[in-house]
Structure 1
Amino acid sequence: MSAFVLFALAVLCVSTAHAASREEQSAACRGDAIKLCTFAIPDEDKVTACMKKKVDQLSPRCRAMFEPAGKKKPRHGRAKSPS
């Protein structure tokens, strides 16, 4: 892979997940970008748009990079009954 492609993947989610470092974002999403959005590489904006469109197909780790900072997914399971 060229250095430009690696750079594009490294900054892929910068605008959507500020809490994660570029290295974490790249590690989390590199495989998904190659698997789902190869046609868009090396255009960073196109890769990001593609991945947002396919967010339901992303690995859980990469999908987390597209959630706003501080947003937590509700846990599945039974709710506690009121006391």
Structure 2
Amino acid sequence: MDMFFAYLCIATATPLFLWLENRKIALASIPPIMIMWIFFGLYMTSSLSPAGHTFMIAFFAINVILAHIAAFLIYGLPFIRKRFSSR
């Protein structure tokens, strides 16, 4: 759970960092962040069913994967294009 909370804190600040590079991705990341905060609140109040725990973990994993894809599209792909186009 510590890892989930640490990621939640980092993910909450992510739209601020992405705002200048890509506003669409920054805005699209806000609803999943809100859902993760809701799940965290439900987890802390012990009102989450076993199916809810499974969904929370699955949603966390999907969000991490999507965050890495977004980071690659915003930062990695332009770097690769720039590097190979200069040859």
TM-score, structure 1 as length reference? 0.31
Question: Which structure has the bigger radius of gyration?
Answer: 2
- Whichever structure has more helix as a proportion of its residues is 2
Higher RCO, 1 or 2 (CA under 8 Å, sep at least 6)? 1
